[in-house]
Amino acid sequence: MTVRRLVTPLTDDLIAVLRAGDLVTLSGAVYTARDAAHARMADLLERGLPLPFDLNGAVLYYVGPTPPPPGRTIGSAGPTTSCRMDSHTPRLHSLGLKATIGKGPRGPEVLKALQEHTAVYLGATGGAGALLSTHILKADVIAFADLGTEAIRLLEVRDMPLLVINDCRGGELYARPRTAESAGPAR
């Protein structure tokens, strides 16, 4: 199986070749934001103020990392449930956001925005936060420090393993029909 290597900032040409189900590795700058940070970004946009980072070609990881253990850059950094950010995501895609990383399915408005703005939704393995953190080389709080774990961070990642869940053509990994073999044993 081919693994596609992605490096930020992401471009429309790069996003256009990705398909739901593709394995990718991601390197470069990635921003973190969860519920509270999204609410603050929405407030900034409503007031006509700039966001704390440039969205053009950007990737947002829905994560609230734990404090780093001694000698480490960051603690466990597993994904949070993405649908909680769905009300904010279409607007961010319209402003240049190219990818989000999280877990779980997205709502119809997000799926529509992925197609309209040539973007993708990438899945990170839930429960593997300690492993995912080994791909994070640097983590700096850049906005909303008072939010603690939900502050916006700029991460430098290298070869973070991800899966394309939703592509820019309407493909959805979660929508694939289950076969008897993939469903597992009867309960």
The residues annotated as belonging to the active site are 38
User: DSSP labels for 25-40?
Assistant: EEEEEEEE--HHHHHH
Distance of alpha carbon 34 from alpha carbon 181, whole angstroms: 36
Q: What three-state secondary structure class fits 64?
A: coil
Question: Token match 């070869």: residue?
Answer: 159
Residue pair 88/41 in contact by the 8 Å Cβ criterion: yes
Distance of alpha carbon 6 from alpha carbon 16, whole angstroms: 12
Residue pair 106/166 in contact by the 8 Å Cβ criterion: yes
Distance of alpha carbon 166 from alpha carbon 174, whole angstroms: 8
- Using CB atoms within 10 A of its CB, is residue 104 exposed (0-12), middle (13-18) or buried (19+)? middle
